[in-house]
Amino acid sequence: MNRLFFLNHTAVEQAHFSKNSSDFVVNEIPLYEFSGSGEHLILHTRKKDLTTWQMLRVFSDTSGAKMRDFGYAGLKDKEGMTTQYVSIHKNYAKAFENFSHPNIKILNALYHNNKIKIGHLKGNRFFIRLKKVLPSDALKLSQVCLKISKDGYPNYFGYQRFGKDGDNFELGRAILSGEKWERNPKLRDFLISAYQSELFNRWLTKRVQISKFFEAFNQSELQSALKWDKDVIKEVEKQPQFFKLLNGDVCCHYPHGKAFLCEDLDVESTRMADKNITVTGFLAGARAIRAQGLAGEIESEVFAQAESFLDKMNGSRRYAWNFTEDFEYKYKEEEAWFEMSFSLAKGSYATVVLEEILHRNLDE
């Protein structure tokens, strides 16, 4: 999916990005501190040009342990340099004492009382270097970095979710409709999740578009474009944050907490501006809480095509608007490099942030 709406208004003329081990670094932030004692060996690993699965295959071949015996919090991409924590029972510790591999380094080893499981991470810290950046473009980049660090960004699913040809979601829809059969359960679930992700991105694009309307148009123009009641437009327009909340939105405390319906726009918009709550979007499926009111009307319009498939999917909510932490950036004029570092909550894509910064889709 290619986005039509970006936060910044001016595209960068020249900035080269390559997802290599020097210019793209991901450091996993664990959910908790490891105790230093227990039944499980915790390996703090660094890899380059390997997927997490490829690294675990090397560990399996080295130790004799089955790949399913290793614990990890999440999968990391092949491209770039990434660090993450991997657990294995302490009975295999000796196999890693003199471990050596050209693309994998064990940075540290300690112990903990339980196996690492999927989701056991707070988030990731990213380093990104852009090259061939002109001074004029560096100024644009600095301005949009400042805006994102202050106001947040739309939490789209990244292009990685949709496959090389961008058609994973279409295959997922075909599986759900019965037009296609997929025997591999993991591949089937992945393709269906791509379909859910596509619908989420379409809904989020529409909500970003509405928010940009409020940034650009006056009240009469908004009435003409949105066909909303004048009092509703006035109530939404006075919100301080860019992404506008609507009555009936499903919000959630940030960075974690319970979901609730937005019923008081004045109160909740202030809390969102203070980064204490955020709005969530629907991942189509049964049992997930649905938006109501005006927010529900927009949600139902976007997700109408999935209504007959809901009982075939596990539904949930996903943060629609995210915030970065500890955003740092600088321009090295002699090298023509623009470097940035920031932390994101789990499940977020650094490439999505980068697309907002560069004002272009990276899969083009």
* CA-closest candidate to residue 205, choices 361, 13, 25: 361
- According to CATH, where is 3.30.2340.10 located in the chain? 154-322
Quickly tell me which residue has 């123009």 as its tokens: 221
For the chain, residues classed under CATH 3.30.2350.20 are: 25-122
Would you give the distance in Å from CA 81 to the centre of its chain? 18
Domain 154-322: CATH class, spelled out: alpha beta
Question: Which ranges of the chain does DSSP label H, i.e. alpha helix?
Answer: 52-63, 135-151, 168-177, 185-216, 219-226, 230-237, 265-273, 293-302, 350-358
Predicted confidence at residue 4, as pLDDT, reads: 57
Place of tokens 């990276």: 362
Please indicate whether residue 274 is annotated as part of the active site. no
Helix (H, G, I), strand (E, B) or coil at 26: strand
Express each pLDDT in 164-217 by its tens digit.
777 899 999 999 999 999 888 889 998 999 999 999 999 999 999 999 999 999
Strand partners, 105: 46
Parts of the chain with a pLDDT under 70: 1-5, 8-9, 363-364
Q: How far apart are CA 330 and CA 121, in angstroms?
A: 28
pLDDT per position as a tens digit, 199-209:
999 999 999 99
Q: Which of 77, 151, 167, 189 is catalytic?
A: 77
Residue 342: HSE in the Cβ half-sphere, 13 Å Cα cutoff: 30
Map tokens 């490099």 to a residue: 337
- Asked if 115 contacts 71 with a C-beta cutoff of 8 angstroms, the reply is yes
Beta bridge pairs of residue 89: 40
CA distance 257 to 277: 9
How many CB atoms within 10 Å of residue 191?
23
Task: Give residue for tokens 């991942």.
Answer: 283
Instruction: Name beta bridge partners: 283.
Output: 316
Top CATH class, 25-122 = alpha beta
pLDDT at 2: 56
What pLDDT shows up at residue 9? 67
pLDDT at 92: 97
One-letter amino acid identity for 278? T
Sheet architecture: strand order including 259-261: 259-261, 250-253, 277-283, 316-319
